[in-house]
Amino acid sequence: MRQIEAGHGTLLRHEDDVKRELDSLITQMHSTGIRYEDAVRQFKRQYLLEVLRANRGNQCKAADELGMHRNTLSRTMAELELEVAEVRAGLKRPVRSERLVHSGLRQQIR
């Protein structure tokens, strides 16, 4: 996505871009026969995953950002078969031996 610059006009252009992308996605979903129920479920799941990742798996912070109670988020996650362990697993630092390899590569690049 394009970087958002300061200013009201730029934010509106960014929102227009997102709306166009969403419209295109909806058209694709409809033309491929995805049912409404499945589309809504997938959207909710992906949206919650994104917010949870942004909050490093912290459900209280994610619920606050989403404007819902933490219990509602927890119940919705259960309905969508979404476990916070999945989110947190993707956020964990690599094991020490892998970190050493990566830091060695970084030093070689410098």
Structurally, what CATH architecture does the domain formed by 35-109 represent?
A: Orthogonal Bundle (1.10)
Enter the pTM of the model: 0.67
Output the pLDDT for position 21.
93
Q: Which residues neighbour 84 within 8 Å (Cβ) at sequence distance 6 or greater?
A: 52, 57, 59, 77
Output the pLDDT for position 86.
80
Domain boundaries, the chain: 1-34, 35-109
**Average confidence (pLDDT) per 10 residues, the chain, 110 residues:** 53 83 93 95 95 95 98 96 84 64 55
